[in-house]
Structure 1
Amino acid sequence: MTPPIDRREFIGKAMLAGAGLSLTQSLEAFSSTPSTQNQKRVGIIGLDTSHSIAFTKAFNAKDAAADLGGYRVVAAYPHGSRDIKSSVERIPGYIKEITELGVEVVDSIKTLLDRVDYVLLETNDGRLHLEQSLEVFRAGKPLFIDKPIAASLADTIAIFKASEKYRIPTFSSSSLRYMENLMAVNKGKIGKVLGADAYSPATLEPTHPDLFWYGIHGVETLYAVMGKGCKTVQRTFHPDSEVVVGTWDDGRIGTFRGLRAGKTGYGGIAFGTEGIQGLGPYGGYRPLLVEIATFFNTGKPPIDPEETIELFAFMEAASESSRKKGQVVSISSVMASAQKAANKISI
C-alpha cells in the first residue's frame, strides 16, 4: 500500500503538477498523488433534499459494503435553498433525521470544513452551488456536486474553472447515468451507439431554466450513452411535455422527451450497430455512491468536465430554441455567450 501523503506535500505537488496545465491535466495530476488513507470524514452541505438522508444512510450503515470505501458522514450544514418553498420546508425534518443518524449539524460551511475531509454538495438550489463550492475548493476538499451542478451554463463553466484554479477535483452527476442497462451499453453490449432517445420527468421550477431543475435526469441519460459532440439543438414545447432533438457532429441523433404529469418514469432506448437496448429501469442511488467513493479514493473524476459542460449547454440551447419558437440553435453560440459571462465571475 502506498503510504499516505500529508496536505503540505500534496499542495506542493499539485502546484507543480498543475502549473500551466489544462483542467483535465490538472485533475489527472491530482489523481496521481496517493490519497490519504485514514481520512474518511464526509460533510454534507444542504439538508433540503432527500438525497442527503439517503446518502448518509448508505455511507453510515453498520453493514455498509466495502465498495463504499469506509466513508462516513460526520457533519452537515443545513442551508440549503432559501426561497424554493418545497425545499425550504424540508430542512427542519431532515435536520431531525440526520441528527438521529449521528451526524453533527453545524452553523456554517466554514465550521463544516474544519470537521471533514470530503464534501457532498447537496443543496437543492443550483443557484447557490458556485458560491458554496468556492468555499470548499478554497479549503482544499474534494467535492461531489449533486444535480444540477448550477442554475446557469456560465456558473457551470465557472465551477470547473475554480476547480482548476484551486487544483481540487470535482464532478457532478445524476444517478440516472449509472443505470445497469445504460452501463451495459457503455461497455459495448450493442456495439457502437448510433443514436438514442431518453426520457424523464421534467417538472418546472421558476428559479431555474426549464430543463436544469429536473429534466437534467433525462438529458444526463442521453449524454451518458451518446457522449459529447452535439452541434445543434431544436426544441418542441408543449404545456405537458417537450421534445428536444440534438444532432451530433458525426450525424447521430439524440432526443430527450420531458414529461410534467403522471407517472413518467426514467429511461430510454439506445440504437447500436449490434442491437437495441432499453436504458431503464432506474435502480437507485447505490451505483452513484460507489462512483463517489471511488472518486474520493483516487481524486479522479469519473466524468470528463467537458461533457458535463456540454450537457448543460444542450439544456441552455433547448431554452434558447424555445425562446426562438423552435428554431435550431448551435451549441457553440450558447457556449460563446456563457464563456463571456463566466469570464466576469470572480473565483
Structure 2
Amino acid sequence: MTYDETAPPLRFGLIGVDSPHAPSFTRLFGDGVTGAVPGGTITAAWKGVAARDFPLSRDRIDAFAQEVSDLGVPLCTTPEEVAERCDALLVVASDARTHAGYFTRLAPFGKPVYVDTRFALTTEDARVMLATAGVHGCLPLAGSPKRFTPEFRRAADRSRADHVDLTGPLPTQPGHPFLAWYGVHLVDLAVAALGPGCARVDASTGDRTTLTWPDGRTATLGGEEQWSPLTTGRVNGPGGAREFTIEAGPPMLTGLLTSIVDACRDGAPNVPEAEVLDIVAIVEAAHRSRTSGAPVTLP
C-alpha cells in the first residue's frame, strides 16, 4: 500500500512501555508525516505493571516510561483511557504473560491491536484472543519485526522454499519457556517462509530444533544463549540457496510499523491468523519436546 499523504496520521497508543520498542516506535513514527514511518504517530501510552520476577520489565519500566514521556507522549492511568484516545493500540509490554489480559481489555473497543512479537504463551490463549477479536470487530495484528525486513523478504519466497536454516540469539527470561522469549523470532521467520501447517517439532536432541511440514519441507533453528544483534538465515529451494542477515536496531522496525499502518488502513491482518496460531503452537511444542526428550506431533 502506498502512503496517502492526504490522510491524517493514525493515532497509536502504547500499552506497556517496559520494552525499547516503546521509545523506538515513538521516534520512528515521529509526527506522522515527516518521521521515518509516515502515516502514524504515538499520542498516548500506559506504563503497564512490571512483574517482580521479570527483571527486564521490573528494572527498565520507569526509565522507558520517562523516555516516552520526554518525547511528548502523555501517560494515561489505564489501558482503556489510551484506547479511548487512539485509533489503534500497540501492546509492547515485554512480558508475554501479560498479553492475553491486555488484549482482552482492549478488544472491546473494536480498534486494531498489535501484540509485539510474542503474541501469546499458549495456543489456548492465542485462540481466545483471536476469538475475542472476532466478537468485537477488533483487527488483531502480530509478527516479529524481522519477518518484515527487506533482507528476509528478498531471500524468502514461500512458493519456492523447501528448507530454511536459521541462526540467531536465544536468550531466555523467567516465565517464558524454551524459544518463547527470543527464539520466537526464528519460529516466526520459519512460518513466514514456509507457511502454516507445521506437523512435527523436534527439540529433543542437540542444539538445534527441527520443524517438519507434512510435505517434507523443514526448518532448523539454533543459536547461542547470549544475545547478539545478528540473525542469519539460508533459504533453499529449486532456484538455489538465498542467504540473509538481519541486524537488530531501530531501522529493523520500519517494515513492521509500515505493515501495521497499512493493515489499519486496509482492515486486513498483517499476519494471517493461521500463522499466528502456528507460531504459538510451535513454541509450545518445542518446550514439550525439550522437556520430554521426544519429538512432538502437532494436531
The TM-score with structure 2 as length reference comes to 0.90
Deviations 1:244-291 (A, max 9, x none): 111111111111113202647212110011111113233611111111
Q: Distance in 1 between matches of 2:244 and 2:189?
A: 8
Q: Gapped runs of 5+ residues in structure 2?
A: 1-6
Percent identity among equivalent residues? 25
Alignment equivalent of 1:77, drawn from 46, 49, 54: 46
Alignment equivalent of 2:108, drawn from 121, 135, 138: 138
Q: Distance in 1 between matches of 2:61 and 2:130?
A: 28
Contact 1:80 1:125 in 2 (8 A): no
Contact 1:77 1:108 in 2 (8 A): yes
1:287 to 2:255 alignment: yes
Alignment of 1:268-347 (within 5 A): 268-282=233-247, 284-325=252-293, 327-332=294-299
1:226 to 2:226 alignment: no
Deviations 1:81-127 (A, max 9, x none): 32212212211111221111110011111221221111101111111
Q: Gapped runs of 5+ residues in structure 1?
A: 1-36, 333-347
Alignment equivalent of 2:225, drawn from 256, 260, 270: 260
Q: Distance in 1 between matches of 2:197 and 2:78?
A: 40
- Structure with a larger share of its residues in helix: 1
Match of 2:34, SS? Answer: coil
Q: Distance in 2 between matches of 1:169 and 1:299?
A: 7
Q: CA deviation at 1:39?
A: 6.8
1:164 to 2:131 alignment: no
Q: CA deviation at 1:292?
A: 0.9
Q: Distance in 2 between matches of 1:250 and 1:304?
A: 21
1:63 to 2:39 alignment: no
Residue 244 of structure 1: aligned partner: 209
Taking a change above 3 Å as real, the CA distance of residues 179 and 105 of structure 1, as seen in their structure-2 partners, is: same
Deviations 1:296-337 (A, max 9, x none): 211211211111111211111111111221x121011xxxxx
Pick the structure with greater CA Rg. 1
Count of residues in correspondence between the two structures? 288
| Aligned-pair Cα RMSD in Å | 1.9
Could you list the runs of 4 or more consecutive aligned residues of structure 1 that deviate by over 6 angstroms after TM superposition? none
Q: CA deviation at 1:51?
A: 0.2
The TM-score with structure 1 as length reference comes to 0.78
Q: CA deviation at 1:187?
A: 5.0
One-letter code of the match for 1:223? V
Contact 1:130 1:150 in 2 (8 A): yes
Deviations 1:162-189 (A, max 9, x none): 111212111211111122232123457x
Q: Distance in 2 between matches of 1:187 and 1:258?
A: 23
Residue 192 of structure 1: aligned partner: 160
